């Protein structure tokens, strides 16, 4: 069962406000001297403009057939060739070491357990060439925001949805009025640092937004850049 199929149908509208991350990932891809991989490529929202601007081959991995079908269609419309693979990021392998692996749109938060996240980080570390980067972003959990939206229906870009929080599981569920739901499991700064450490990567930078503002106590977003030691 494709749990993301309902979101694939409305994703262009749902993510229409997500634009600030594309230039950030675009710059990283330009700097990459070797293969580039996007985990949770979805419908190609980031990969297609990045490939178009850089002319580089982007390997996209996603476990949703519905999302990948859209990515393939959109890439063809843009006259862009993406190397798309259906698969789980916890199990991915590459034929040659990558210069950059990135995972946008908070997609690592779809992994429910510490073990799941550790597997991804270890897979990424194994896939990177020495000096290669792993880059991702995620929200900083804010209890005030959670209290304000818990259990409430809201409309975002014409899409009615509800957010329900389950603190005992570090989880929030997003349910569409039209049907379908997904879960996210929030992660603290110390947990991200532990995942970086246990996988043998090193922190290159931590930003509070895609403008590369230094992370501080007021930041609402983690934007991590980790590196495999030379």
pLDDT at 213: 98
The tokens describing 206, both together, are 């931590």
Do 80 and 170 share a structural domain? no
Domain span at residue 155 reads 144-176
* pLDDT at res. 1: 82
| pTM, to two decimals | 0.96
Is there a single domain that holds both residue 73 and residue 168? no
pLDDT in tens, the chain (230 residues): 899 999 998 998 899 888 999 999 999 999 999 999 999 999 999 999 999 999 999 999 999 999 999 999 999 999 999 999 999 999 999 999 999 999 999 999 999 999 999 999 999 999 999 999 999 999 999 999 999 999 999 998 899 999 999 999 999 999 999 999 999 999 999 999 999 999 999 999 999 999 999 999 999 999 999 999 99
Instruction: Provide the pLDDT for residue 157.
Output: 87
Are the C-beta atoms of residues 189 and 207 closer than 8 Å to each other? Answer: no
Query: What's the pLDDT at 156?
Result: 87
183 sits in which H/E element:
strand 181-185
Question: Closest Cα to residue 141, out of 219, 85, 65?
Answer: 219
For residue 104, give the CATH number of its domain: 3.40.50.150
The tokens for 109 are 């938060």
CA distance 190 to 15: 28
Residues 57 and 78 in one domain: yes
Per-residue model confidence (pLDDT) at position 73: 97
Number of domains making up the chain: 2
In a domain, 98, yes or no: yes
- Whether 181 is covered by a domain: the verdict is no
Handedness of CA 219, 121, 133, 44 (dihedral sign): negative
In-domain check, residue 108: yes
pLDDT of residue 4: 95
Sheet holding 83-86, edge to edge: 83-86, 58-62, 36-39, 98-103, 128-139, 221-227, 202-207
Contact 209, 221 (CB under 8 A): yes
**Collapsing DSSP states into helix, strand and coil, what is residue 179?**
coil
Query: Which helix H or strand E contains 53, and what residues bound it?
Result: helix 47-54
Same domain for 39 and 58, yes or no, is: yes
């Amino acid at each position: 069962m494709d749990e993301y199929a309902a979101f694939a149908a409305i994703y262009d509208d749902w993510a229409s406000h997500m634009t600030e991350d594309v230039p950030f990932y675009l710059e990283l891809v330009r700097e990459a001297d070797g293969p580039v991989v996007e985990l949770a490529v979805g419908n190609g929202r980031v990969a297609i403009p990045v490939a178009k601007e850089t002319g580089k081959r982007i390997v996209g991995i996603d476990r949703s057939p519905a999302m990948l079908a859209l990515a393939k269609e959109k890439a063809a419309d843009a006259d862009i060739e993406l190397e798309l693979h259906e698969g789980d990021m916890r199990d991915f392998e590459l034929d040659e070491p990558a210069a950059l692996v990135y995972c946008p749109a908070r997609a690592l938060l779809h992994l429910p357990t510490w073990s799941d996240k550790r597997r991804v980080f270890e897979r990424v570390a194994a896939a990177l060439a020495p000096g290669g980067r792993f880059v991702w972003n995620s929200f900083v959990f804010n209890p005030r925001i959670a209290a304000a939206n818990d259990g409430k229906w809201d409309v975002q870009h014409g899409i009615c949805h509800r957010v329900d929080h389950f603190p005992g599981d570090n989880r929030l569920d997003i349910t569409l009025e039209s049907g379908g739901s997904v879960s996210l499991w929030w992660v603290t700064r110390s947990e991200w640092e532990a995942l970086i450490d246990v996988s043998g990567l090193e922190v290159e930078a931590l930003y509070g937004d895609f403008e590369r503002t230094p992370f501080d106590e007021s930041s609402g977003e983690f934007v991590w850049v980790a590196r495999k030691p030379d």
